[in-house]
Structure 1
Amino acid sequence: MTTPAPETRIVQDWRVSCDGGEGALGHPRVWLQIPEGRGWIECPYCDAKLVHKDFEGKV
């Protein structure tokens, strides 16, 4: 059995929230601050990679 790759989402803001996106099957909503020098952050619950639009295609 293989594990699916974590989701990558392009976002507009430097401060974003993640709740797993699956309603009752998701996780508690967390707020994450994307470091401006790096341009992305991973959700500690679902491992989704949140990439700021300015860094799209660079990470």
Structure 2
Amino acid sequence: MTIEAPETKIVETYRVACDGGEGALGHPRVYLQIPEGDGFVECPYCDCKYIHKDHVDSAA
């Protein structure tokens, strides 16, 4: 049995919303703030990683 890697999304804003993307099978919508120093944030529900476009090279 293998576990799929969490999804990674490149975004253009420092504030993002995540709902799991599965419709009724997702999770409650949460709003996440990407710290400008780190350049990324991970959703506490689904572990999706959001990387700001200006930090793609350093946050990967």
Q: TM tier, shorter chain?
A: over 0.9
User: Does residue 37 of structure 1 match 2:34?
Assistant: no
RMSD: 0.7
Moved over 4 A (4+): none
Shift of 1:57: 2.6
| Larger helix percent | 2
Q: How does 1:14-53 map to 2 (within 5 A)?
A: 14-53=14-53
- TM-score scaled to structure 1, two decimals? 0.95
**Gap regions ≥5 residues in structure 1:** none
- One-letter code aligned to 1:37: G
Q: CA–CA distance in 2 between the matches of 1:11 and 1:53?
A: 6
**Gap regions ≥5 residues in structure 2:** none
